[in-house]
Amino acid sequence: MKFTVRHRYPLSAEAFWAEMFFDDAYNQGLYIEGLGFGSFRVTAQEAEADGRVVRRVAQVRPTLRAPAPVAKLLGDALTYEERGQRDAQGRWVTAIVPSRLADKITIRTTMSTVPVDDAACERVADFEVDVRLFGLGGVVEKFVEGTLRESYEKAARFSAQWVAGRSVEPS
């Protein structure tokens, strides 16, 4: 399954990456306060001279409201690891590796920014979700899609408030 989400951000494309996306305080606020995750930890981040960035995030524990069959498959203590790299074209390319069923669930994201004007950009996230579970693959894919769409919507709202400098309350 492939799908795309788009959100406008009230800062330039360059500022999106430098002042938000790779900022530790922003990420802690986003994942813990904005998204209500149980845990989030960057375990490695390296910037290359050519502008590429490699980052690994581990022990991310989202709060999930899964339908019963999905909850039974994934368990109540699901975590994931995000392995990402900002490539030479400025895109953020990630693989999400769940703590359960990693051999059956593939989640990839390619995120980019498109300048709108000097003070705004659009974040475009293209997702590819593939769940190879007989009889339940489609159900899990739809759940993952819904969860990602909801999280990215919350992230856009949190980010707009972050940029405005307001205190952010969990959604």
Residue 35: per-residue pLDDT: 94
**pTM (2 decimals)?**
0.89
pLDDT tens digits, one per residue of 123-136: 999 999 999 999 99
Helix segments in 30-171, DSSP class H: 68-74, 137-164
In a domain, 142, yes or no: yes
Q: In total, how many domains does the chain have?
A: 1
Q: In which domain, by residue range, is 39 found?
A: 2-164
CA angle 88-108-138, nearest 5°? Answer: 160
For residue 133, tell me if it sits in a domain. Answer: yes
Quick check: is 169 in a domain? no
Return the C-alpha torsion angle 115, 94, 87, 35, nearest 10: 40
CA-CA distance, 137 to 45, in Å (whole number)? 33
| Residue 170 covered by a domain | no
Q: What tens digit of pLDDT does each residue of 42-77 get?
A: 999 998 888 788 999 987 888 888 888 888 888 776
CATH number at residue 63: 3.30.530.20
Give dist(CA 39, CA 152) in Å, integer. Answer: 17
| 151 in any annotated domain | yes
Q: pLDDT tens track of the chain, all 171 residues?
A: 999 999 999 999 999 998 899 999 999 999 999 999 988 899 999 988 887 889 999 878 888 888 888 888 887 768 899 999 998 888 999 999 999 999 999 999 999 999 999 999 999 999 999 999 999 999 999 999 999 999 999 999 999 999 988 444 544
